[in-house]
Amino acid sequence: MTSYADYATGEPVVDAKAPDGPVEERWDKRRFEAKLVNPANRRKHTVIVVGTGLAGGSAGATLAEQGYHVVQFCYQDSPRRAHSIAAQGGINAAKNYRNDGDSIHRLFYDTVKGGDFRARESNVHRLAQISVEIIDQCVAQGVPFAREYGGLLDTRSFGGVQVSRTFYARGQTGQQLLLGAYQALSRQIAAGNIEMHPRTEMLDLIVVDGKARGIVARDLVTGRIDTYFADAVVLASGGYGNVFYLSTNAMNSNATAIWRGAHFANPCFTQIHPTCVPRTGEHQSKLTLMSESLRNDGRIWVPKAKGDDRPASRIPEDERDYYLERVYPSFGNLVPRDIASRAAKNVCDEGRGVGPGGQGVYLDFADAIERMGRGAVEAKYGNLFDMYQRITDEDPYEVPMRIYPAVHYTMGGLWVDYDLQTTIPGLFAIGEANFSDHGANRLGASALMQGLADGYFVLPATINDYLARNPHHQTVTAEHPVVQEVLAETEDRLHLLLAVDGDRTPDSFHRELGELMWELCGMARTDSGLRKALERIPQIRDEFWRRIKVPGVGEEFNQSLEKANRVVDYLELAELMCLDALHRAESCGGHFREESQTPDGEAARRDDEFGYAAAWEFTGTGEAPVLHKEDLVFEYVHPTQRSYA
């Protein structure tokens, strides 16, 4: 075995599908050059879609609407329970309804800058172009976006921008958008064009002759393991933030589908969201987000004096530090998430944090209530306030909310080309599962935009090209030796997990790994800390395989087995995340290396050395992976030190 830190560097990875020419014409050009599949031939093609969140739901519905035969999977009991349902605050689109200076170019610019110059210009521009179509599509489906008094769709602002371009449905935008995608999906299920497999988990990928041709999946109710075949496989399985154990993600969000052999890009780019309900103790298995939209009207502050433990109401105005407004007067409380999170950590590290353990800052609505009236605040944020009150038993209309940063989103993911195809031909990745559009930091309200852009618009256009060029005249069957091999490997892994019969639960290992990741690969990272993590993770993995206890058998409903199998993947992915963070000896966006900061404590990029996306090739458990670099070129938004002051 080679030490992880001794990784090798391989050939650069090239996005062969990326068109050239003026950035605003590239998407049209690619769509025109891509081959089409004749409508009558589409029904002869089967596409597997793993996931039914906003990305997978919209992709499955659209592909079936186009005439393809779709076989779709999710582990929930219904597609409409995918994690996307949790999204609260809104979805961006460059509609410029407010006439406040917005445009496709500005959304493009904000996103490239917000991602700290680690995203591809071509992809981001396409995203900005498609954003306007998404809103039309969803309105046509009946998604009940908030409207203003004149009847036009209402918008609000999110971090890192100075225009109001976020469309929303109260604090339940994800739910309403998902209902739109789900009804489109249901229509196709009823029409027989989609074969839906809920409560079924993809465990492995079937690659025949170098092309993705199917998956191995387990029925979570009966435990039965089956194989499914297709002409192409689309992974829309969401993000991997649960590596950290505590995060705002749904409990079962995991990395299993994306951890199956394709190159993995920028795994260390994790988003820590500044406004989450602070953790209260060891007992917690999940954290709760308070939407960024609250920063439109809530003001963030801490006491000026260290250790000031008076209740908020007793701290006079001149003894409060509205630190974001003070340090970043142009953007104030709406600076991007990475900046707001680090600022919160800094004031807490200084001893000025509030609440138990000093791990919190105030998000205060007193001014907003005085200015707008309680009714208006309730109309905008009511469900979020109710949620906060139910969790903390404090009334945010009376006392300020307490918030603290928490893991929320993963910008890294499977490396994909402009067509959203991974390094395995025929394997596509969309939504949070890929790495494509957000660089080193995602701006608020842009995950929903990307998921729906990928699912409704990009993938349905680009997958045609692959299917037209790869007609797959040979069908793959369960008897194929490769299929038998993958199936046997999957079954062996589960049997091994059941056979250890140790004395520790999957959860105890997951928690231990998560705490290590939060401490050493979380909000601030150092060379020595990351090396320590790289030493420790293989030890935890070793212990896992000696001491894991999974009761029951495989041929039944067995949540312990599900969990243990996911932890196996987390233990491998976590190691890669730490290596990626170690090798990237610069700070950018959400990746903050303490050794690389400006005199003001902001992230200092090193463009000459690290102006690339890092695509990692897995070479086996515990073996050093291979790094393939994709150079990033900026022709339109020139890299500068980000400034939100």
Ligand X SMILES: Cc1cc2nc3c(=O)[nH]c(=O)nc-3n(C[C@H](O)[C@H](O)[C@H](O)COP(=O)(O)OP(=O)(O)OC[C@H]3O[C@@H](n4cnc5c(N)ncnc54)[C@H](O)[C@@H]3O)c2cc1C
Piece in contact with ligand X (CB under 6 A), picked from 53-61, 328-336, 477-485, 580-588: 53-61
Residue nearest to ligand X (CB): 53
DSSP strand pairing (264-265 vs 232-235): unpaired
DSSP state of 610: H
User: Binding residues for ligand X, how many (CB under 6 A)?
Assistant: 46
478 sits in which H/E element: none
Residues in contact with ligand X, shown as a per-residue x/- string from 139 to 178 under the rule CB under 6 A = ----------------------------------xx----
- Work out which of 49, 208, 220, 289 binds ligand X, going by CB under 6 A: 289
Residue 540 in tokens: 């935890």
Piece in contact with ligand X (CB under 6 A), picked from 146-154, 234-242, 301-309, 620-628: 234-242
Q: 181: closest CA among 431, 415, 414?
A: 431
Piece in contact with ligand X (CB under 6 A), picked from 145-153, 231-239, 496-504, 610-618: 231-239
The count of C-alpha atoms lying within 13 angstroms of the C-alpha of 477, restricted to the half-sphere facing its C-beta, is 2
Backbone phi, psi, residue 629, to 5° = -100, 140
Rounded to an integer, what is the distance from CA 340 to the centroid of its chain?
19
Beta sheet of 225-229, edge-to-edge order: 200-208, 211-219, 225-229
Nearer to ligand X, 160 or 431 (CB): 431
**Is residue 445 involved in binding ligand X (CB under 6 A)?**
yes
The dihedral built from the CA positions of residue 228, 232, 238 and 240, taken in this order, carries a sign that is positive
Neighbours of 144 (CB within 10 A): 13
**Is residue 47 involved in binding ligand X (CB under 6 A)?**
no
Residue 400 in tokens: 């300020």
- Work out which of 46, 96, 129, 237 binds ligand X, going by CB under 6 A: 237
Identify the three-state secondary structure at position 173. Answer: helix
- Work out which of 175, 249, 333, 341 binds ligand X, going by CB under 6 A: 249
Q: Tell me if residue 337 is catalytic.
A: yes
Per the residue annotation, which of 337, 525, 566, 584 is the catalytic one? 337
**Is residue 548 involved in binding ligand X (CB under 6 A)?**
no
H helices of 264-410, where?
323-327, 337-349, 366-372, 374-392
Residues in contact with ligand X, shown as a per-residue x/- string from 79 to 118 under the rule CB under 6 A = ---xxx-xxxxxx---------------------------
Instruction: Answer whether 124's CB lies under 8 Å from 438's CB.
Output: no
- Work out which of 129, 242, 254, 441 binds ligand X, going by CB under 6 A: 254
CB of 578 to ligand X, least distance (A): 23
The span from the CA of 487 to the CA of 307, in Å, is: 58
Piece in contact with ligand X (CB under 6 A), picked from 46-54, 225-233, 459-467, 546-554: 46-54
CB of 506 to ligand X, least distance (A): 16
Which 409-428 positions form the footprint of ligand X (CB under 6 A)?
409
Nearer to ligand X, 82 or 523 (CB): 82
- Work out which of 257, 324, 343, 354 binds ligand X, going by CB under 6 A: 257
Q: C-alpha angle 335/637/131, rounded to 5°? A: 70
Instruction: Answer whether 413's CB lies under 8 Å from 432's CB.
Output: yes
CB crowding 589-615: b at 16 or more within 10 Å, else e: bbbbbeebeeeeebbbbeeeebbbbbb
Nearer to ligand X, 180 or 239 (CB): 239
- Work out which of 4, 73, 259, 331 binds ligand X, going by CB under 6 A: 73
Q: Which residues bind ligand X (CB under 6 A)?
A: 50-56, 73-76, 82-84, 86-91, 173-174, 201-202, 236-239, 248-249, 253-254, 256-257, 289, 291, 408-409, 431-433, 445-448, 451
Active centre residues (catalytic): 337
